[in-house]
Chain A
Amino acid sequence: MSIVSSRSRLALDTTVVASSQQVSCDVADEAVLLSMHDGEYYGLNEVAATIWKLVQQPRTVLEIRDALLDEYTDIHADECQSAVLEFLGEMISLQMVVLI
């Protein structure tokens, strides 16, 4: 499944949550994930780690975007939404985030 196809399935009202197919570890403000799907390690930067914390419980894409806009006031809403969709699309393709 490509990132683009995962992303295309996402809308602002889509609810997502972290899957059980991973283990994760906080590293200061960042995080590292180990995917059970492909056995690879993935480093998350601060913004991605913030999204990762948010999806530990079911959230809509809109809720995630708005939470980021509250935390990072210097990000433009469109830019933020695009980044959220891109990250979630990638996480879905890696089976570390699922749609519910």
Chain B
Amino acid sequence: MRLRVFRWGLSVAVVVAAAIAGERAASVQAVPQSTGTAAQAPKPANAYDSTYQPLPSRPTVIRNATILTAAGPAIERGAILLQDGRVTAVGQTVNAPADAVSIDAGGKWVTPGIIDTHSHLGVYPSPGVEAHQDGNEMSSPNTAEVSAEHSIWPQDPQFDLALAGGVTSMQLLPGSANLFGGRGVTVKNVPTRTPEGMKFPGAPYGLKMACGENPKRVYGQRNTAPSTRMGNVAGYRRAWQSAKEYRDRWRRWRDAGMDEEKRPDRNLQLETLAGVLDGEIRVHNHCYRADEMAIMINVAKEFGYKIASFHHAVEAYKVRDLLAENNICASMWSDWWGFKLEAFDGIQANIPLVHEAGACAIVHSDSADGIQRLNQEAAKSMRAGWEAGIKIDRVDAIRWLTINPARALGIDKWTGSLEQGKNADVVIWSGDPFSVYSRAEQVFIDGALVYDRNDASRQPRRDFTLGILPTGVGR
């Protein structure tokens, strides 16, 4: 993960920035206590709930397109109808109302909106200066109490660039400096003034965890724990044990009649971990090496939680059977390797091998550049699969970008495939999305045309770009 690595090169500056961010977090007003159900630890109240509202839309029918639905075979010269924010019909032909906007997409391709499980947009915005380093709270190896949503700068112009790449949803995560980096939040890629305005309604929080070199380097260099991989694992186990005890404390209190005098203290850090144990928060675990993924599966078994996805997972191919057995996704790059030792065994066939084993394979970006071209990353992986003799095609590869990430994020019942009743998160590509020459032409989110490559008035521009980007900068 080069991005983070470079930023650690600015460690002094970053620590200062992190300290400032912490100060802001402390000034956030106290959250009202929710009543919750008797068996559970306290849940976060709704102060930070999504305020997302779909943008205005008109019924729209797209015809004559090659449609990759991520839920079945490709449909040649097919049609799809978007109404009231949903996909209401998809197939060879559809019956559209008379007032529907009709788009002839002859020669073009239609796919679900692309979903990135691993992004730092908004928490590491452009311009990438010290003042913007808000993604790694590098003040303790366990900062499960922080949440990326409290660092997101909605005016990050990188959101606009990702939209031009067809990305409709993404998980914004804290960095990987810590064993427990904090909560990640899944957003819809729409322009808003507040982070809550982007939050994907109903999407569960993620918890960012990190294996391997990063935490042990960051804290080892300070002569504090962890400084080894075994120190990392001890750190996870200690925290999960505390979380279990915390959850049990609250359970006992509730079972005993919720005497206000005896209410346990609320602990924001343990509350997040308890949320994982209760199955409400999904673990997203930065982990490169096969052996470390196997260990993390054991840790999850010891404490009774589930890992939604390993991230980066450059050695996922070595344990793809284990991932399939345990129903864990792997969010991977196409061809990143060698930038550190735990990435040394990365191979280009990683994604197709994981796919072939029946595990949930995902192309992720972890990069403000890569997120603009996730379709190209998938294309390279598809080719590497062919070269390895793996029988895959575009119908398989589209899943790596859409329904599989939706599944890892817990939003697959709403988005990730073009099926009747799902959110109308749709991309029209100028051609085969796995060609280097194709580009997203139109992007719909909940049925609203949010981006149109051929209409400047349909190209969101975040505040930062005004009056500072040169005229004619283009994309």
A and B associate:
no
Q: Which residues of B line the A interface, CB within 8 A?
A: none
Q: Which residues of A line the B interface, CB within 8 A?
A: none
